[in-house]
Structures are given as C-alpha cells and as structure tokens.
Amino acid sequence: MRKIFLFAFAALALTACNDPKSQEKAILDDVIKIHDSVMTYDDQLMHNKMKLDTLMNIAKNEEAKARIKDLVGRLNKADSSMSNWMNKFDAAQKGKSHTEIMNYLSEQKKQVKAIDSVVKSAVTESAEYLKPFKK
C-alpha cells in the first residue's frame, strides 16, 4: 500500500512539473519573489537619498560633493530602474503561447535580478558612506 502511495505521489509530481500553467506560475512566482525582496530596500533607499541630499548642502569640499553626487546618482538609477521595470512588467501575458510566456518571464527574471543587484549595491554603499554621520 505504501509503495502504491509513493508511486502515485511521484506520478502526480511529475505530471504537475509538465503542466504548462504550473511552469508559468512557478517562474512568475520566482519573479514576484525577487521583486518583493527588492522592494524591502525601497524605504532605506529613499532614506539614504534624503540624508545624502542634506549632506550635499553642507559638504565643505569638492571631493565630498562629488562622492555624494555619485551615490545619489546610483540611488536614483536604482530607484528608476525598479520603477521602469514595474511599469513595463505584464504578468498576465494574455493571448501568448506557453513558449512566449516562458521566454518573457525568464527575461523578466533576469532583469529583476539585475535590478536587485543594483539596488542592494547602491543602498549598501550609501549606507556605508553615511555611517560616520549617524547621530
């Protein structure tokens, strides 16, 4: 009886893996999971940007101003990259074939992973710069 149950479970699992809708849902879930992870950095990104803007107004030398400007630029790029991606992302993919959907979602997964890297890097680097200024 146990062997029959295990066989039936294995057969069901294999069938589910071959179901196109299940494949599409799995990769869409991956994309959304990465997106949600990136969005956890949004508050920190904005907070760091505001602090850097404040520091820019009181920076005493050109080297500090250049560094702050670079960090703000990286934060802006990270923020706009995520916003642009979200505005263009189409989860529904109505009227598309399974292959088209899988290709689209695979490409979106690559894009959102790259954005994840850009956001994390910008937030981490700006946070490191801001450490000495914490009160």
Query: Looking at the domain assignment, is residue 119 inside a domain?
Result: yes
Mean per-residue pLDDT over the chain, rounded: 90
How large is the average pLDDT for residues 117-131?
Answer: 97
Would you say 122 and 44 are in contact if contact means Cβ atoms under 8 Å apart? no
Query: Looking at the domain assignment, is residue 53 inside a domain?
Result: yes
The rounded distance, in Å, linking the Cα atoms of 92 and 74 is: 31
- Domain around 59: 20-86+98-133
Query: Looking at the domain assignment, is residue 2 inside a domain?
Result: no
Query: Looking at the domain assignment, is residue 7 inside a domain?
Result: no
The residue with greater pLDDT, 13 or 65, is 65
Please state whether 76 falls in left (phi above 0), alpha (psi between -120 and 50) or beta.
alpha
Query: Looking at the domain assignment, is residue 63 inside a domain?
Result: yes
pLDDT, residue 18, reads 73
The rounded distance, in Å, linking the Cα atoms of 122 and 133 is: 17
pLDDT at 63 over 70: yes
pLDDT at 4 over 80: no
What's the domain count of the chain? 1
What global pTM score does this model have?
0.81
CA distances from 28 to 1, 34, 72 (A): 37, 10, 32
pLDDT, residue 134, reads 80
Would you say 79 and 52 are in contact if contact means Cβ atoms under 8 Å apart? no
- Which residues, at least 6 apart from 35, have a Cβ–Cβ distance to it below 8 Å? 86, 112
